[in-house]
Amino acid sequence: MKHDYLQNTPLSEAKKSFISILNSLSFYAESEKIPTALADGRILSEAAYAAISAPHYNASAMDGIAVAAEVTYGASEVSPKILTSAQYAVVDTGDPMPQGADAVIMVEDVREEADGAVKILAAVHPWQNVRQVGEDLCMGDMIAPTGTCLTPALLGALLAGGVTEVSVKKQPRIGIIPTGDEIVPPTNTPKPGEIIEFNSVIFSAMLRRWDAQPIVHPIVRDNREDLREAVLQAVRENDAVLILAGSSAGRDDLTADLVRSNGTLHLHGIAVKPGKPAVIGEIGEKPVLGLPGYPVSAMVVMEQFVKPMIDHFYKRTAHAEQDVDAIITKKIVSSLKYKEFIRVSVGEIGEKRYAVPLARGAGVITSVTKAGGILEIAQDLEGLEAGSAVKIRPLNETGGGNTLVITGSHDPLIDEAADLAKRQGLNLRIVSSHVGSMGAIQAIRAGQAHLGGIHLLDEATGEYNESYVKKYFPDGGAVLQKGVGRVQGLMVAKVNPLQIKDVRDLPGRRFVNRQRGAGTRILFDYLLKQNDLTPADIPGYDNEKYTHTAVAATVAAGNADAGMGIFSAAKIYGLDFIPLYNEEYDFLVNEQTMNTPVVQQFFSILHSKAFLERLEALGGYRVEG
Amino acid sequence: MKHDYLQNTPLSEAKKSFISILNSLSFYAESEKIPTALADGRILSEAAYAAISAPHYNASAMDGIAVAAEVTYGASEVSPKILTSAQYAVVDTGDPMPQGADAVIMVEDVREEADGAVKILAAVHPWQNVRQVGEDLCMGDMIAPTGTCLTPALLGALLAGGVTEVSVKKQPRIGIIPTGDEIVPPTNTPKPGEIIEFNSVIFSAMLRRWDAQPIVHPIVRDNREDLREAVLQAVRENDAVLILAGSSAGRDDLTADLVRSNGTLHLHGIAVKPGKPAVIGEIGEKPVLGLPGYPVSAMVVMEQFVKPMIDHFYKRTAHAEQDVDAIITKKIVSSLKYKEFIRVSVGEIGEKRYAVPLARGAGVITSVTKAGGILEIAQDLEGLEAGSAVKIRPLNETGGGNTLVITGSHDPLIDEAADLAKRQGLNLRIVSSHVGSMGAIQAIRAGQAHLGGIHLLDEATGEYNESYVKKYFPDGGAVLQKGVGRVQGLMVAKVNPLQIKDVRDLPGRRFVNRQRGAGTRILFDYLLKQNDLTPADIPGYDNEKYTHTAVAATVAAGNADAGMGIFSAAKIYGLDFIPLYNEEYDFLVNEQTMNTPVVQQFFSILHSKAFLERLEALGGYRVEG
């Protein structure tokens, strides 16, 4: 249980020192010659000059007749001239100009006469309707300077200029070494303790997008000697090496030691979250980086260090990201110990852009896939209040008014609707966050969402939703739209070994609950009260999950004996389901957005036949009329 | 000389009707399964759901000891508890939780005792420091809906969710058939009349960038039967077919006929410039497009029709381009007969963005490679005055303050400086336009450029540049910076067959001149006057070229007997050179921008040793100091 001391170098300092390391290693691209036709997206290693002019001959720019301009002088519609067959030649666009001809009369101004003669209705001046040699490109002209990233049009210009081969910068070969006793190649049947090795796939794809060539080496087990050999070989074969995992402070922490004893260890531990345990060093005059095992941490290190490393290799300047304004919807607490990168989902309501902080766990890769932007919290900030104006770095296009922001209770039907929208080719992007039914009310009141799912039981009347709308929107501002009926119940292990039949059977059993504010939790509390029970009677009442499937997964894993949720979640996990309550899951809509295309599109999907078929397949829903 | 009538369908109408044709043809992607690891950038053809949860087992989130939380209650630093070896198990991050354990105490809070016992300094609650099953992803959760374009992080999420294969949309196969008797594969030694076939390379690269698969078929000669066979075969083998060239109104115009007689011809001629002669039809229920032979025209058709066709295939919505504000620097005249796309170079001076219209010829591919943006002129507009505020669609990143705008006299040294800047990895983008020395004065006065090259002879004094600055900037606003000395002279064919020794020998010879406002032309006019000659004495005085190399290319092609220019241009073309005048080529700098980094960087390059070596290699320059 001994482990390395993790330094805590501030990010900006770490990046600066990394660049000076790269400088000292002369980490720059070499040059190679490749066929121009295959060079799209490649970067010129030297300026390209036209080897021939384009056009390389005088070419007719029209269909018509080629002539010596001087013989046409004076011709016009009112006084046409006659040219003998020796005085002209028929040419089409692109044809070379015959000897002695320096202009073209277009076909519309020419009439055929007897004996091959023609009548011309217009005069032309020298070089009229002729593309002279070099009109586009002259031999010797620089077509593009060093460092140019080639585009389709540039390939055309190079070929037009007779440049059939170009000198481009060689792509850097980046070796990737996955390490660890526990990791296994991707599979859908991993055993407990086995971790699927997907980081090398993520990083390979990132590297390709950054114009580098990933070389994934075989998985190395946690063995000092094996790792040393693998790394030394990778260093010989590549321009730089990434060692995956092994940099968290556990018994797997071999990377830093290895770099120290075979080269130079420059940094171990950077004041950035996630990403802290990164290792930066060199072996054999090549950069060697140790990446954290958690994917989100490692992706931060990839973006903050490996991308700049590749830009340095090419001597190219990274495109400065254009930050955009947003308002954060939740309070964020951060530590003074590090700069933090927080992934946010981004939604636009009217002219305002809202950023919803996503899960911050370094292992939660879905926080990256759901992110629409990155919020940086400076190291000297302790956090931000909800409602703060911030700058975020957008990860995909924002704006365009095609985003529908759904904030509220979780139901898989929202994902299914998003899928149907895409299937139908609608220009509708759905951003949803699961914050429970009460969260929907808050978000709509704050104007931060178009709509949200709610299923809120009024304990006094036993009715759903309506009284809440009256209470929280006494002066209007929200519209309740009928959603679906669905059955809530207890999920228990298959064949119900503990014979749980009702809420009354829960005391003494391990329960898994939903988060505060969730309609399902409110329903559960109501059922407890009806049965004269209190939270204190329910072990695990404080074990909170955010979705129906998360509750089902917890029961299925044996981490709890029972949980409350909808039928479709139980069905996916093959759990037994004890129906307890028919509830109404409706949509609370921000009144001001009711007639926007995104909201209207959403409800038209909800009322479509295809959607009803999907609900049927999920099971446990009722749709009225 | 008979040719098809070209319709003139307005662009928006043509695009709408094309989409309805695609709808009627069910031009949509089919689905294929591929390994997830290879799916970066591909588009999901159906929603992807997690097949397993992630983590799929309860995993320790810390290095430490796994325990049953209840045995730790009450432990603290002041009253530690002792656990026997049976009550805990050592775990590292990622390890599965042993049977019966539901929490982890981190290593920092554990002290080893005798006999395998440990002392714990902290209590933990159930599931503390444990990543429960499904923390990231729960089995059955939708990872991404249909139509999602996969990213590196999504590949990771899919693999973490046990999705090792994904259903993605098949890429469309787009057949490309180059046609024409005159076209030859790329070479640097084409014969007169031979046109290098580079369009298929440009379009293949564009198609790949749009996620389509280009299939380039062999070149087809201008023969009705050969073309018919090639097209019918391509239609069988591909999802859509592009026929290159053959759609201008010449004898090569076979495409429209072919489509009409083997399928349905929908459109021939669209009111767009460039791009007008496009053909749109279908054969065998596949879209068949005829693209104009000129590359710039064809690229417009690619962007306006083929890109939307591919987006339609994928049912994806094109990212709406964000137009930016700019001021045009020259008057533009356009026709009411068509919508026009004008390529502009874009420069930023301080907060203002200027758009300089580039050459409008459909054959001038360098107008595309130099373009920083596209300016659309609506069909109902006759043009725009210089100084008009316009919206342009940027083609590369704008902003960032790293653009240096050079407007003025042409000298290859500007390109060489741009190349050196990139070689040194400077964040400096040089946008230069060649408008002559007087153009430089105008541009600096209008604040539209950082600097420009000038070489303006004062006929009264025989001196260069200074008197012009005094005259045009009486109140300051511009600074003259020393550039280079260079020798101007006459370029004539090798071994000077016409024995041209001086300006006096030019009458009766074919001259090629520079454009009005060019310093070289002003010098030539001065030399004429000195020799008591007038423009009327010089045949070809009105044949204007914009660069030194263009003049040299014209002489080398035999289109003129002599032209005036700098030594380095004559050298590239192997021409004889008769030195006439030593002139001073200096830089006029916009005073307000003198201290900006871009201007300072430019002059530091100009004074570098590497740059002087390049001048030496070019020849004909003198540098003082």
Same structural domain for residues B260 and B145? Answer: no
- Closest to A205 (Cβ–Cβ): which among B145, B155, B368? B155
DSSP secondary structure letters along A451-495: EEEE--EETTTTEESHHHHHHH-TT--EEEEEEEEEEEEEEE-TT
Q: How far apart are CA B257 and CA B244, in angstroms?
A: 14
Specify if B331 maps to a domain: no
Q: Which two tokens stand for residue B568?
A: 């380095």
Please report the beta strands in B319-400, taking only residues with DSSP state E, as ranges in sequence order.
324-328, 332-333, 339-349, 352-357, 373-377, 383-384, 389-394
**Does the distance separating the beta carbons of B552 and A153 come in below 8 Å?**
no
- Closest to B201 (Cβ–Cβ): which among A156, A190, A193? A156
Same structural domain for residues A14 and A163? Answer: no
CATH code for position B351: 2.40.340
End-to-end CA distance of chain A: 64
Residue of A nearest to B318 (CA): A427
Same structural domain for residues A243 and A100? Answer: no
- Closest to B419 (Cβ–Cβ): which among A134, A146, A424? A146
Interface of A with B in 399-428 (CB under 8 A): 399-400, 402, 412, 415-416, 418-419, 421-425, 427
Nearest to B310 by CA among B172, B507, B129: B172
- Look at the block and give the residue holding tokens 């009229």: A128
DSSP secondary structure letters along A471-483: HH-TT--EEEEEE
CATH code for position B199: 3.40.980.10
Specify if B412 maps to a domain: no
The answer on pLDDT for A189 being more than 70 is yes
Please report the beta strands in A62-197, taking only residues with DSSP state E, as ranges in sequence order.
64-67, 81-83, 89-91, 103-106, 110-112, 118-120, 130-131, 142-144, 165-169, 173-178, 183-184, 195-196
Element spanning B490, H or E: strand B478-492
Element spanning B544, H or E: strand B544-545
Same structural domain for residues A228 and A370? Answer: no
* Domains in chain A, number: 5
CB neighbour class for A5 (10 Å; exposed up to 12, middle 13-18, buried from 19): exposed
Same structural domain for residues B243 and B372? Answer: no
Specify if B326 maps to a domain: no
* Residue A292 at interface with chain B, using a CB cutoff of 8 Å: no
Same structural domain for residues B459 and B602? Answer: yes
Radius of gyration of chain A (CA): 34
The pLDDT assigned to A398 comes to: 62
- Closest to B153 (Cβ–Cβ): which among A182, A202, A412? A202
Q: Which domain holds residue A207?
A: 9-28+172-314
Q: How far apart are CA A618 and CA B448, in angstroms?
A: 63
A479 forms beta bridges with: A589
Q: How far apart are CA A559 and CA B137, in angstroms?
A: 16
**Does the distance separating the beta carbons of A252 and B92 come in below 8 Å?**
yes
A258-267, Cβ contacts within 8 angstroms, sequence gap of 24 or more: A258/A224, A258/A227, A258/A228, A258/A231, A259/A283, A259/A288, A259/A290, A262/A228, A262/A231, A262/A232, A263/A288, A266/A17, A266/A18, A266/A21, A267/A7, A267/A9, A267/A14, A267/A17, A267/A18
Domain's final residue, options A314, A346, A364: A314
Q: How far apart are CA B576 and CA B521, in angstroms?
A: 20
Same structural domain for residues B111 and B48? Answer: no
CATH code for position A365: 2.40.340.10
- Look at the block and give the residue holding tokens 């700019």: B326
SS3 B434: strand
* Blockwise average pLDDT, block size 10, chain B, 625 residues: 60 94 95 97 96 93 92 94 95 88 94 94 93 92 94 96 97 95 88 89 97 96 91 97 70 77 91 84 96 89 96 87 88 90 90 89 86 91 92 78 89 94 88 91 94 93 93 96 96 96 96 93 94 95 93 95 96 96 96 95 95 95 79
State how far residue A201 is from chain B, nearest Cα, in angstroms. 6
* Residue B320 at interface with chain A, using a CB cutoff of 8 Å: yes
- Closest to B155 (Cβ–Cβ): which among A180, A201, A573? A201
Decide if A80 contacts A99 (C-beta within 8 A): no
Per CB-CB distance under 8 Å, the chain B contacts of A195 are 55, 94
Question: What pLDDT, in 10s, does the model give residues A374-420?
Answer: 999 998 999 899 899 999 998 876 666 788 999 999 899 999 999 99
The conformation of residue B16, written as its DSSP 8-state character, comes to H
Neighbours of A164 (CB within 10 A): 17
CATH code for position A536: 3.40.190.10
The conformation of residue B525, written as its DSSP 8-state character, comes to H
**Does the distance separating the beta carbons of A136 and B63 come in below 8 Å?**
no
By residue count, chain A amounts to 625
Question: What pLDDT, in 10s, does the model give residues A612-624?
Answer: 999 999 999 998 6
Q: What is the dihedral of CA A402, A408, A409, A412, to 10 degrees?
A: 10
* Residue B589 at interface with chain A, using a CB cutoff of 8 Å: no
Measure Cα distances from A445 to A339, A517, A585, B175, B481 in Å: 32, 15, 19, 55, 63
Choice between A165 and B403, residue whose per-residue pLDDT is larger: A165
Per CB-CB distance under 8 Å, the chain B contacts of A143 are 366, 369
Specify if A437 maps to a domain: no
Interface of A with B in 138-177 (CB under 8 A): 138-148, 151-157, 159-160, 162-164
Per CB-CB distance under 8 Å, the chain B contacts of A131 are 361, 363
Domain's final residue, options B147, B169, B191: B169
Specify if B608 maps to a domain: yes
Residue of A nearest to B142 (CA): A415
State how far residue A532 is from chain B, nearest Cα, in angstroms. 26
Q: How far apart are CA A86 and CA A67, in angstroms?
A: 10
Neighbours of B325 (CB within 10 A): 11
**Does the distance separating the beta carbons of A159 and B196 come in below 8 Å?**
yes
Specify if A415 maps to a domain: no
Q: Mean of the per-residue pLDDT values for chain A?
A: 92
**β A324-328/A352-357 pair status:** parallel
- Look at the block and give the residue holding tokens 């007719």: A60
Same structural domain for residues B463 and B612? Answer: yes
* Residue B26 at interface with chain A, using a CB cutoff of 8 Å: no
Same structural domain for residues B583 and B506? Answer: yes
Decide if B414 contacts B453 (C-beta within 8 A): yes
- Closest to B559 (Cβ–Cβ): which among A133, A423, A547? A133
φ/ψ of residue A580, rounded to 5: -125, -30
Neighbours of B361 (CB within 10 A): 17
- Closest to A205 (Cβ–Cβ): which among B40, B96, B199? B40
Neighbours of B233 (CB within 10 A): 14
Residue of A nearest to B48 (CA): A419
Specify if B249 maps to a domain: yes
CB contact set of A13 (below 8 Å; sequence gap of 6+) = none
Specify if B587 maps to a domain: yes
Decide if A174 contacts A207 (C-beta within 8 A): yes
Question: What pLDDT, in 10s, does the model give residues A426-468?
Answer: 888 898 888 899 999 999 999 999 999 999 999 888 899 999 9
* Residue A70 at interface with chain B, using a CB cutoff of 8 Å: no
Interface test with A, best of B108, B113, B155 (most A CBs within 10 A): B155
Q: How far apart are CA B50 and CA B56, in angstroms?
A: 11
CATH code for position B104: 2.170.190.11
Same structural domain for residues A335 and A298? Answer: no
Decide if B150 contacts B159 (C-beta within 8 A): no
- Closest to A139 (Cβ–Cβ): which among B400, B402, B573? B573
Question: What pLDDT, in 10s, does the model give residues A344-383?
Answer: 999 888 888 999 898 888 888 888 888 989 999 998 999 8
CATH code for position B524: 3.40.190.290
Decide if A552 contacts A567 (C-beta within 8 A): no
Please report the beta strands in A278-333, taking only residues with DSSP state E, as ranges in sequence order.
279-283, 286-291, 324-328, 332-333
Q: How confident is the model at residue A3 (pLDDT cuts 50, 70, 90)?
A: very low
Decide if A554 contacts A560 (C-beta within 8 A): yes
Same structural domain for residues A176 and A263? Answer: yes
CB contact set of A250 (below 8 Å; sequence gap of 6+) = A3, B63, B92, B93
Neighbours of A461 (CB within 10 A): 9
A286 forms beta bridges with: A283
Q: Could you report the predicted ipTM of this complex, rounded to two decimals?
A: 0.91
Same structural domain for residues A295 and A329? Answer: no
Per CB-CB distance under 8 Å, the chain A contacts of B550 are 134, 138
